[in-house]
Amino acid sequence: MPGVLAGKAVVVTGAGRGLGEAYARLAAAEGASVVVNDVDTTVAASVAASIGALADDSDIATWAGAGRLIDTCRQAYGRIDGLVNNAGLFRLADPREQDPDEFRRVVEVNLLGTAHCGLHAIRAMLAQGSGSVVNVTSGAQAGTAALAAYGASKGGVASLTWCWAADLAGTGVRVNAVSPNAHTRMAEAFERHLGDRARGQNVGKSAASNAPAVIHLLSDAAAGVSGQVVRIDGDELSLVTPPRQAASVRMSQWTVAAVADAFAGDLGRHR
**Residue 150 annotated as catalytic:** yes
Strand, coil or helix: 182: coil
Q: Helix 148-167 crosses helix 100-107 at what angle (to 10 degrees)?
A: 20
Among 77, 90, 150, 164, which one carries the catalytic annotation? 150
Q: CA neighbours within 13 Å on the CB side: how many for 197?
A: 7
Distance CA 138, CA 230 (A): 10
Nearest to 140 by CA among 101, 108, 88, 179: 179
d(CA 53, CA 14) in angstroms, rounded, equals 14
CA dihedral 6, 230, 201, 40 (to 10 degrees): 40
CA distance 33 to 53: 6
What's the maximum distance between 2 C-alpha atoms anywhere in the chain?
68
Backbone angles phi, psi at 143, to 5 degrees: 115, 110
The Cα angle at residue 66 between residues 58 and 35, in degrees rounded to 5: 60
User: Which residues participate in catalysis according to the annotation?
Assistant: 150
